[in-house]
Structure 1
Amino acid sequence: MLWILLLSTIVGAYLLGSIPSGFLVGRARGVDLRKEGSGNIGATNALRVLGKKWGYLVFAADAFKGFVATAGTVAIVEPIAPAYAIPMGVVAAAFCVVGHNFPVWLNFEGGKGIATSAGVMLGLFPIMVFISGLAVWLILFFVTRYVSVASIGASITLPTASAVLTLMGHCDWLRVSVAGILCIMALWRHRPNIQRLLAGTEKKFEKKRPSPQT
């Protein structure tokens, strides 16, 4: 039974995570995000290319995947094998983000996992972990106007906040470990952004100015 639960969790979480929300929303709008902007199907590029409404929709959809994968797994496993509910949730967290980053449907070229990781944190971790990550993201974004800097900072905050809460008795090292794995994956996916930041060529997120009246 345990092996069946494990295999089902891995496959189910990966397939859920691999649903390419940004690609699907873009195509519904007549745009292939892989050929526009940064070429990424994540929420940031969707926001730049498609506008606020559709960019926020992509973010919500990607976060929802992470939340459902983790909270859903825990809810399903807990009545069957309570001792394995959180461990299976951790497995679901990792494979859902892997699915988002490397979707089989798009030749394994997906997003960077930030929105999906946010959903994972909301579904599996104490609420303060999510709040801490969100607060760091907002502060860094409004101070620097770099989405990449905000995302990197939030990624580092997640294992840090969960480790602090574990020392206080409100979390556990298993969840800290998966937060660390998600952080490493996020940093790896942001390698081009880090290189551009170091070179001073990373683009800031600027509001679009209205076209001049003629």
Structure 2
Amino acid sequence: MHIVLVILAYLVGSIPFGLLIGKMQGIDIRKYGSGNIGTSNVARTLGKKAAIQTLFGDGLKGLLMVLLARAVLDDERWIVAAALAAIIGHNWSIYLKFKGGKGVTTTYGAYLGLAWLPALATIAVWLAITKATNKASIAALTSSLCAPIFALLFGVSTPILVFSVLGLLMIYLRHIENIKRLLAGKENTLSRTKDVEREE
């Protein structure tokens, strides 16, 4: 049951909501902007409504898989394994030839299911920095650094602390190109680009 649930978490985490939402509007999100399937590129390409839909889809798949794991498993280490599997699925989706998003929303959704107080604090930092800078990468990189700090402050268990650290590392791994653009002063904002052409 433990391994089956981890595999299920990976498969659910692999669902590319940004791509699916774009397809419903006649857009392959991978062909526009950064080419990423996550909320930020959806916001720049398709606007706020599609971005919110993507945000909820990507966040809920992390949260719901943790809640399911909590309901059927009694070992917190395996619950954390399911949470990490959902994030890995998002980042390296089996449905997209092991390509995917950057994992921020799915990570924070899973974190909410594991430890809601430090997760809410982390998400608050994420939202505040997004609003202040209009750059999703700065918000992701800064808030993910806060996640283990909040985990320690709120006294979470060792498996959840490990989750916060591994989540941080995966976020930084997926943001290497963003870090390079930030250092070069060329990072994109969340402002919507010009309208894109729909597919026939």
- TM-score range with shorter-chain normalisation? over 0.9
Q: 1:201 aligned to 186, 193, 197, which one?
A: 186
Contact 2:45 2:192 in 1 (8 A): no
Kindly indicate whether structure 1 or structure 2 has the higher relative contact order, using CA contacts under 8 Å at least 6 residues apart: 2
Moved more, 128-137 or 92-101: 128-137
Matched, 1:65 2:61: yes
- Contact 1:163–1:173 (CA<8 Å) still a contact in 2? no
CA shift, 1:147, in A, is: 1.0
Alignment equivalent of 2:20, drawn from 17, 24, 32? 24
CA contact (8 A) 1:136 1:150 kept: yes
**Helix, strand or coil at the partner of 2:126:** helix
Deviations 1:105-157 (A, max 9, x none): 111110000110111011111x2212211221122222222110001111111
2:106 is the counterpart of 1:106: no
Deviation at 1:208, TM superposition (A): 6.9
Matching of residue 134 in structure 1 with residue 130 in structure 2: no
Counterpart of 1:109 in 2: which secondary structure?
Answer: coil
- Structure 1 window deviating more from structure 2 (173-182 vs 140-149): it is 140-149
2:81 to 85, 91, 98: 91
Q: Deviations over 1:157-212 (max 9, x none)?
A: 1111112222xxxx111100011101100000000000000011112233679xxx
Q: TM-score, normalised by structure 2?
A: 0.92
The one-letter amino acid paired with 2:53 is: L
Distance in 2, Cα, partners of 1:205 & 1:10: 33
Local SS of the residue matching 1:204:
coil
1:1-214 correspondence to structure 2 within 5 Å: 5-77=1-73, 82=74, 84=75, 86-125=76-115, 127-166=116-155, 171-206=156-191
Q: For 2:188 and 2:45, locate their aligned partners in 1 and report how far apart those are by CA, in whole Å.
A: 14
Total equivalences in the alignment: 194
- Structure 2 residue runs without a partner (length 5+): 195-200
Aligned counterpart, 1:212: none
The runs of 4+ residues in structure 1 deviating greater than 6 Å are: none
- The one-letter code matched in structure 1 to 2:109 is G
Q: Secondary structure at the match of 1:7?
A: helix
Question: Which amino acid letter does the alignment assign opposite residue 110 of structure 1?
Answer: G
Consecutive unaligned residues of structure 1, counting only runs of 5 or more, are 210-214
Compare CA radii of gyration and give the structure with the larger one. 1
C-alpha contact (below 8 Å) 2:66/2:114 kept by paired residues: yes
Deviations 1:37-62 (A, max 9, x none): 11000011111111111110011000
Q: Which amino acid aligns with 1:98?
A: I
Query: What RMSD over aligned residues (CA atoms) do the two structures have, in Å?
Result: 1.4
Contact 2:40 2:190 in 1 (8 A): no
2:45·2:193 contact (CA, 8 Å) conserved in 1?
no
Normalised by the size of structure 1, how large is the TM-score? 0.87
